[in-house]
């Protein structure tokens, strides 16, 4: 699988997941999230059929927007601690959708439990997206691309 195919499937997975909960358009972006923006970095490991890792860096403000849209409650009623759980589940759902889209139908995959990282760990492949004029990113280890290129 070539990277541009993966780009399209990831965009579809991100769009499908977020548009269904927040009813907002997701676009690919060449911009990067400003370092000054308060954010969470969450990680999800893949242990089968390859060993790899995905990360998502997303601003707290964007998570509030998604949560307000999904739960239809005012921001004041959303606890910031709940946003972390929300971001973990968001990454889990996006990557599950991505792997269902890129792996052959009979391929089983196994995901680790998503977790919060203290800081973004070095990754080799990055995708930036825009929602509500706010940038967020998903990144992956090179292992994932190598596995898909050899399929």
* DSSP for 59-99, written as a single string: EHHHHHHHHHHHH---GGGS-HHHHHHHHHHHHHHHHHHHH
- Domains annotated on the chain, with CATH: 3-149 (3.40.1550.10)
10 Å CB burial of residue 35 (0-12, 13-18, 19+) is exposed
Predicted local distance difference test score (pLDDT) of residue 35: 83
pTM metric for this prediction: 0.92
Q: Which residue, 137, 138, 148, is CA-closest to 102?
A: 148
Predicted local distance difference test score (pLDDT) of residue 119: 78
The pLDDT tens digits of the residues spanning 63-105 come to 999 999 888 888 898 988 889 999 999 999 999 999 999 999 8
DSSP state of 26: E
């Amino acid at each position: 699988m070539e990277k541009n195919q993966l780009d399209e499937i990831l965009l579809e997975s991100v769009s499908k997941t977020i548009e269904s909960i927040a009813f907002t358009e997701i676009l690919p972006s060449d911009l990067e999230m400003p370092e000054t923006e308060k954010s969470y970095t969450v990680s999800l490991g893949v242990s089968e059929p390859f060993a790899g890792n995905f990360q998502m860096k997303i601003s707290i403000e964007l998570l509030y927007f998604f949560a307000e849209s999904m739960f239809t409650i005012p921001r004041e009623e959303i606890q910031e601690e709940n946003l972390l759980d929300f971001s973990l589940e968001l990454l889990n759902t996006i990557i599950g959708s991505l792997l269902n889209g890129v792996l052959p139908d009979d391929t089983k995959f196994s995901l680790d439990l998503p977790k919060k990282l203290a800081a973004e760990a070095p990754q080799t492949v990055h995708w930036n997206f825009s929602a509500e004029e706010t940038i967020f990113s998903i990144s992956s280890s090179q292992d994932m691309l190598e596995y898909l290129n050899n399929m």
